[in-house]
Structure 1
Amino acid sequence: MPETSRRGLLFGTAAVSAGALLTACTSNEPKTGEPAANNEPAAPDDKPGKKVTIGFAGPQADHGWLNAINENAKARAGKYSEVTLEITEGSNDTAAQIGQVQTLINKKVDVLVILPADGKALTQVGLQAMKAGIPVINLDRVFASPQAYRCWIGGDNYGMGLNAGNFIGERLKDKKNAKVVELAGLDNLELTKQRSQGFADALKNYPNIKRVARQAADFTVESGQAKMAQLLQAQKQFDALWNHDDDQGVGALRAIQQAGRDDFLMVGGAGAKAAMDAIKADNSVLKATVLYPPTMAASAIDLARALGQGKGVGGMSELEIPASITLYSAVVTKDNVDEYLPTGFS
């Protein structure tokens, strides 16, 4: 996906190529009670159309990124006068989330947007919705069967690792016997395995670089601090760190500062505002973060609206929306951070 397509190009009624990075819709800098970028038009063609009721079901917002997902969905739906959003409370309990989706099905919403706590476990209720004639936009965590959704939209976990590895590789390509360490997320998640695989594959292009250690954390500040402290104690010298998640990166930076270490560069993941602020300030080891944009939730609302109104994606020849859309994992550095700051989440 070309980086030139990242601002102002929105699904549903806008001119956009499939897989574009959609960042115009939101920010976590409040203005009049709403995300800052919400003062921008929803889309070039935002004239009200047929009334559409969209049901939204996601996991509990116990993480900065998941909270940003919910806020993006709410803010985006609020841009359309003809869209009614039925949003569930959110739960990490699969049985509870299944019940919430079934309630939305019974309400006969026009379209469902579902970010499953567990894609495999929620597959049956996705199938149930589709069989009931309610098209499903599967957000991020994919269902086990493509029959359970009309369109999937999500981030590129493999691409995150690949782009993080290539960024580090280019920085260290001239250093003999360079060493890198990896602070991963939850190892029982498929997305963590994909991020690690992409990182490993990128490093294959740089034979002078060796990954010398890897620790798995839990996507929390506390786990990031504890696991990073262990890495620092075990590795007295290394040249670069890739941290999978900016939330746990807050803790990792805390451990790094407490250890008085500044002899390596750090790359984060997801695109938190705190990480972007640190990159812009350029006063720590954190030099870049690889995006996993929560703006995908806003794009999912655009897609759901388009489905409910029988529209395709503006700028494309097809009459229908795509079946699958993978967002691009752009690398945010000091050189381009101002452009991406409005998309940062708290």
Structure 2
Amino acid sequence: MRNSSPRPSRRGVLFGGAVIAAGTVAAACTSNDEKDTSPVAQTGAAGGDNDKPGKQVTIGFSAPAADHGWIAAIAKNAQAQAKKYSDVTFRSVEPTNDINQQISAVESLISAKVGALVLLPNDGEQLNQVARKAMDAGIPVVNLDRVFPDKLSYRTWIGGDNYGMGVSAGHYVGKRLKQKGVSNPVIVEVQGIATLPLTQERSKGFADALKSYGYTVTAKQDAKFTVETGNQVASNLLQAHKKIDALWNHDDDQGVGVLAAIKQSGRKEFFMVGGAGSANAMREIKAGGGVLEATVTYPPTMAASAVRLARLIAQGKGMADLVELQVPQSVTLASETVTKDNVDRYMPLGFES
């Protein structure tokens, strides 16, 4: 993890999960499994001449195993975006949570001499050297989300804004409490993994935004990014505080457990803000009647954007909406606030938890 922008991933390297062997490079499937209804990026209208077919390019792709909804959506968005281009061949390696196997998988993409590489590392520091090897071999690397410490290891970084997530959540909470005329609110926070820089950045953004309204966090506890722990932590906070005014949960995957605990308690005196922008959270927001009023995004659609950028870089093109001739060195995505008023616009971008 690094300490300066671009910020590290919403997902830490502490996640477990079954290890899937990473071996021979294979062309990825471009159609979703029939049983899988997870939305993928809806990329809108053509972006000028850049979307017209150009030089044929092969884009390699490597990411961790899809053991969480957000990670699963990363792979789906990348594959779906690549499918839109007749000039792109998408070559994916088996996803894995094993560092050494991901290194071997990336080396196989280097040996295959792909035209560009989109890489979401399990750990940016430990995958730094193999990414540098790709760059030294003339293969531009689009570093997705979890950043490599060496800027010579990637051509472009694209990812979310963890601090910005906290700011967006804090502003929503602060404005709502001011509207309600609450002067000394009880605000609780359900974090991901407290020791991770990404969690610390989210908490700092939340605290900084709340401070502008004269508010502070009453209590916070980390829930390890899991449904089970989310349920336990929410139950503990509900028992510890007989009255709550607002709750921010950092992660919509663990939010499944948080919401279950709240519903089981029957408590409705407070409102809740989620984090990351899952489809099930958006459906809950749209249905109304519950405590969940909003979620702040950390979009897995960044994978689709990464494929677009990799294609442009491999074809020697820049971004159509910029004056400059080359793709930028880094792109930090905004954390947007999804409420009942705009949820229909964001629903196609949500991921299944």
Using structure 2 for the length normalisation, give the TM-score: 0.86
CA distance in 1 between counterparts of 2:203 and 2:131 reads 29
Distance 1:192 1:218 in 2: 10
Counterparts of 1:337 and 1:196, CA distance in 2: 24
| Structure 1 position 37, deviation (Å) | 6.2
C-alpha deviation, 1:222, in angstroms: 1.3
Asked if residue 113 in structure 1 is aligned to residue 129 in structure 2, the reply is: no
Tell me if structure 1 keeps the 8 A contact 2:40–2:351: no
Structure 2 residue 343 is the aligned partner of structure 1 residue 325: no
Report deviation, 1:196.
0.8
Structure 1 partner of 2:348: 342
Q: Does 1:78 align with 2:83?
A: yes
Q: For residue 195 of structure 2, what is the aligned residue in structure 1?
A: 188
The one-character-per-residue Cα deviations of 1:248-304 (angstroms, maximum 9, x if unpaired) are 111101000111111111000111111011111112100000011111000000000
Partner of 1:254 in structure 2? 260
Separation (CA, whole Å) in 2 of partners of 1:67 and 1:110:
24
* Matched pairs, number: 318
In 2, Cα distance between the equivalents of 1:318 and 1:103? 33
What is the CA distance between 1:68 and its match in structure 2?
Answer: 0.5
For 1:93, the equivalent position in structure 2 comes to 98
Within the candidate set 131, 134, 137, 1:126 is matched to 131
Per the alignment, do residues 39 and 196 of structure 1 end up closer, same or farther by CA in structure 2, a change over 3 Å counting? closer
- Aligned in 2, Cα 1:194/1:61: closer, same or farther, shift over 3 Å? same
Conserved 8 A contact 1:186-1:217: yes
| Pair 1:332–1:192, CA change in 2 (3 A) | same
Q: Is the 8 A contact 2:159 2:333 kept in 1?
A: yes
Q: Which amino acid aligns with 2:261?
A: A
Alignment check: 8 A CA contact 2:41 2:81 kept: no
Q: What residue number does 1:230 align with?
A: 236
Structure 1 residues 39 and 293, CA gap change in structure 2 (3 angstroms): closer
Q: Deviation at 1:188?
A: 3.2
**In the TM superposition, what is the alpha-carbon distance from 1:31 to its structure 2 partner?**
12
CA distance in 2 between counterparts of 1:217 and 1:337 reads: 26
Q: 1:35 to 1:263 in 2, by over 3 A?
A: closer
Q: For 1:66-100, what per-residue CA distance to the aligned partner results, in whole angstroms no more than 9, with x for missing partners?
A: 10000000000001111011111111111111111
User: Per-residue CA shift, 1:164-187, capped at 9, x if unaligned?
Assistant: 001100111231111100000012
Deviation at 1:29, TM superposition (A): 12
Alpha-carbon distance in structure 2 between the residues aligned to 1:228 and 1:123: 37
Going from structure 1 to structure 2, the CA distance change for 1:329 and 1:182 (only over 3 Å counts) comes to: same
CA shift at 1:33, angstroms? Answer: 8.4
Q: SS of the counterpart of 2:316?
A: coil
Q: Say yes or no: does 1:281 pair with 2:299.
A: no
Whether the aligned pair in 2 keeps the contact of 1:29 and 1:36 (CA below 8 Å) is: no
* Equivalent position of 1:162 in the other structure: 167
What is the CA-CA distance between 1:234 and the residue it aligns to?
A: 1.3
- Cα shift at 1:312: 0.3
Match of 2:58 among 53, 64, 72: 53
Query: 1:131 corresponds to which letter in structure 2?
Result: D
1:328/1:34 CA distance change after superposition, 3 Å: closer
CA separation of 1:29 and 1:205: change in aligned 2, threshold 3 A: farther
Structure 2: runs of 5 or more not aligned? 1-31
Classify 1:37/1:69 alpha carbon distance in 2 versus 1 (closer, same or farther; 3 Å).
closer
Distance 1:146 1:136 in 2: 11
SS of 1:183 mapped into structure 2: strand
Q: What residue identity is the alignment partner of 2:109?
A: L
Instruction: Flag the 1:258–1:220 CA change in 2: closer, same or farther, 3 A.
Output: same
The 3-state SS of whatever aligns with 1:211 is coil
User: What is residue 270 of structure 2 aligned with on the other side?
Assistant: 264
Deviations, residues 14-36 of structure 1 (Å, cap 9, x unaligned): xxxxxxxxxxxxxx998998957
Question: Contact 2:161–2:332 (CA<8 Å) still a contact in 1?
Answer: yes
Superimposed CA distance per residue, residues 169-214 of structure 1 (whole angstroms, 9 cap, x where no aligned partner): 011123111110000001232211111111111111122x231111
Residue in 2 that maps onto 1:312 = 318
Query: Runs (4+) of structure 1 moved beyond 4 Å?
Result: 28-44
**In structure 1, C-alpha distance between the alignment counterparts of 2:142 and 2:34, rounded to whole Å:** 28
Partners of 1:34 and 1:241 in 2: CA distance: 27
Instruction: From the superposition, tell whether residues 171 and 35 of structure 1 become closer, same or farther in structure 2 (CA, over 3 Å).
Output: closer
CA deviation after TM superposition for structure 1 residue 115, in Å: 0.6
Q: Is the contact made by 1:42 and 1:79 (CA closer than 8 Å) also made in structure 2?
A: no
